[in-house]
Amino acid sequence: MSFATHIITPYEYVAYATHLKRLSKDDRYCRFRTFTSDETIEAYVKKIQNNPNEIVIAHYGDDCGIDGSLQLSIIENTIQEVRKKIAELSMSVLPESRGKWIADTLIEHAILHARTLQVEQLVTTCNPSNKTMLHIAKRIGMEIDGDFEEKNAELLLQKPGIETISLDIFRQQLWTIDYVNKKTANAVSEIWKTFYTNV
């Protein structure tokens, strides 16, 4: 398991849709806050892929498929008195990859990138029964309120410094090395399998 995450490029939205479709019915409910079919996911991903206010950060598993994702939706608040740049986060990690701090890694990257974009507040919404998400939100210092139907969490972000922006750019490059390593390991493993089945 690596801690390399990156903002996906236009070529990776098919992999993002595949990741979301691999979630169970209940996980899709937690992720989208509504029951979501494969067709709805396809249409949703098509809709967001050319929207600069929808940013997807992904973690790739050893099989070179996306096993964790976090979407930042930038909301420009137009009300004069509370003009504030806000980003809403929604995330998912495949069941077989959970408990390995992939969500933590994605959030850390999301905070870094949101600060680079001068976002002032990070928000998320989840079901009160989503103990894992509430635990993660509390651990990163989000303030939580809400009722028995819905929990809202928010975190004020610090203004970026030059080191924030540099680290954000570095993370994007670091991922390339990790992905090439995983692709190479997969290719070598395939060659070995072919070799041993033929001897």
Q: Where along the sequence are the contacts to ligand COA (CB under 6 A)?
A: 27, 30-31, 90-93, 98-104, 124, 126, 130-133, 135-136, 139
CB 122 within 8 A of CB 114: yes
As a residue count, the chain comes to: 199
The number of CA neighbours under 13 Å toward the Cβ of 78 is 0
In angstroms, give the least distance from the CB of 175 to ligand COA. 17
Q: Which is nearer to ligand COA, 17 or 160 (CB)?
A: 17
Q: Which is nearer to ligand COA, 96 or 190 (CB)?
A: 96
In angstroms, give the least distance from the CB of 33 to ligand COA. 8
Number of H helices, E strands in the chain: 6, 7
Question: Would you tell me how many other CB atoms lie within 10 Å of the CB of residue 196?
Answer: 8
In angstroms, give the least distance from the CB of 146 to ligand COA. 13
Q: Are strands 85-93 and 66-76 parallel, antiparallel or unpaired?
A: antiparallel
In angstroms, give the least distance from the CB of 191 to ligand COA. 31
- Coil, strand, or helix at residue 11? helix
Structure token pair of residue 9: 């490029």
Q: Residue 79 corresponds to which amino acid?
A: I
Q: Which is nearer to ligand COA, 4 or 160 (CB)?
A: 4
In angstroms, give the least distance from the CB of 97 to ligand COA. 7
The closest alpha carbon to 122, from 160, 81, 153, 80, belongs to: 153
Angle (CA) 114 117 120, round 5° = 60
Q: Which is nearer to ligand COA, 38 or 104 (CB)?
A: 104
In angstroms, give the least distance from the CB of 166 to ligand COA. 25
Q: Which is nearer to ligand COA, 140 or 174 (CB)?
A: 140
Q: Which is nearer to ligand COA, 21 or 165 (CB)?
A: 21
Q: CA–CA separation, 12 vs 10, rounded Å?
A: 5
